Structure 1
Amino acid sequence: MTRRRLSVAERREELLRAAVEQIEARGVAAVRISDVASSLGVSNALVLYHFSTKEKLVAAAFAFAAEDDLTRLRALLGRRTTALRRLRAAMRWYAPTGPAKGWRLWIEGWAVALREPALREVARGLDRQWKAAIAGVIAEGVAAGEFECPDPEGAALRLTALLDGLAVQLTSYAGAVPRSRARQWVDEALARELGPVRQR
């Protein structure tokens, strides 16, 4: 049985999925072009045709992995319900105690991004999108009179920084923080940022 010829877009997606799997298995620093190629039974040259360097492949793989999370975030924040409910759902989903995957991948990526400009730009762009989405819903809640928050952008930065920090603790240091305590801290931080919530 002959294998169907993939379009350029399909081939890129196949390579990116394989790159994410190899990064998760080997780590960002250790993964090689040949690991990705051999996992699919293709040549190194084919991988390099689509991504001219390992750095570009890794950066694209991180963007690809994050797009699922961003799509899920946009779906949660786009629901037809109160801003408060949407924020709580997003925070609980994205928190390292929730169902969002890939925290180990991102922690490694942050470390490598200190030295790799291409990955640093991807990570920075994704971080901005996340904060902007959270800040936007906080601003909607303020405009609707649900709660008070004089600085939605600052609140989004503080909330996401808490989630990122908890992810490092829970992922890198097993048992350092009980998961129930981390969930409690996230809920308390959200309550502090939003001030008194008006019953609707």
Structure 2
Amino acid sequence: MQTSPTALVPSPRRRAKGADRRRQVVEATLDVLAAKGYAELTIGDIARSLGISTALILQHFKTKDALLLEAQRLLAAEYHDNWQRALAASGPSAAEKLWSLVAAEFAEAICTPRKIMAWKAFWAEGRGRREYIAEFGARNVEYLKLLTALCATIIKEGGYAGYDAKVVARTIDSLETGLWLELTSTATPMTVNQTRRTAFSHLAMIFPRHFTPKGPIRGPIKRAR
């Protein structure tokens, strides 16, 4: 009996080796994590989703905890790199930079239901939160410091009396987090475009001399009298 040539070609999943296999396993982990949550996920679930053995996964990740930490690292790196690129590509003014950061928060590549559900699974798990803070807390501090500095510049430029840059930055950051959660709400879920528009409208309400809901205002800033 002859075997057809195509039958001899292994599937892409079985051909994967080394770094490709590790990445494949981590991506599958995010899929299962989004569907089942942190506590319910097993190595067997991930292996079945890929059509491979648990032993093959354990060659790359010795424990479930090690695999979950690697998945969290992937999400954190994507998130950090995304806003760094947005900042580098933005215009020179503080308003342009702040607008770019808010837009980056809802970029299609990172703001997907699958990834947000995975984030929620990590946030809901005490151990996941502790591991995240231990390894990635400095990045969160960096982001908040940047938001605060940009808000301070905008407050000074526009003469926004009584504004506290730290409070405003926290408000922006908190709204972004809340809008992420709205994307996966089972009651009235928002679309990515709706969350982005909401965040932009929020900027315009906070800093009306610098923004409209459609973008930064060009030209000289009109200070309050």
Aligned to 1:122: 132
The one of 65, 71, 88 equivalent to 1:78 is: 88
For residues 58-89 of structure 1, what are the alpha-carbon distances to aligned partners after superposition, in whole Å with 9 as ceiling and x for unaligned?
22212213322322211111114033123223
What residue is the counterpart of 1:32 in the other structure? 42
CA distance in 1, matches of 2:146, 2:131: 22
Specify the alignment match of 1:105 in structure 2: 118
Q: CA deviation at 1:126?
A: 4.0
Give, in angstroms, the shift of residue 153 of structure 1: 5.1
1:16 maps to what in 2? 26
Give me the whole-angstrom Cα distance separating, in 2, the residues matched to 1:125 and 1:192.
35
Q: In structure 2, give the amino acid aligned to 1:76.
A: A
C-alpha separation between the residues in 2 aligned to 1:178 and 1:11?
Answer: 33
Is the Cα contact below 8 Å between 1:141 and 1:147 reproduced in 2?
no
Give the CA deviation at 1:14.
1.8
2:90–2:100 contact (8 Å) kept in structure 1:
no
Q: 1:180 to 1:136 in 2, by over 3 A?
A: closer
Which runs of 5 or more residues in structure 2 are unaligned?
A: 1-8, 211-216, 221-225
Structure index of larger Rg:
2
Deviates more, 1:142-151 or 1:84-93: 142-151
Tell me the SS of whatever aligns to 1:171: coil
Percent sequence identity is 25
1:12 positional shift: 1.9
Counterpart in 1 of 2:3?
none
1:165 is the counterpart of 2:175: no
Q: Please list every run of 5 or more consecutive structure 1 residues that lacks an aligned counterpart in the other structure.
A: none
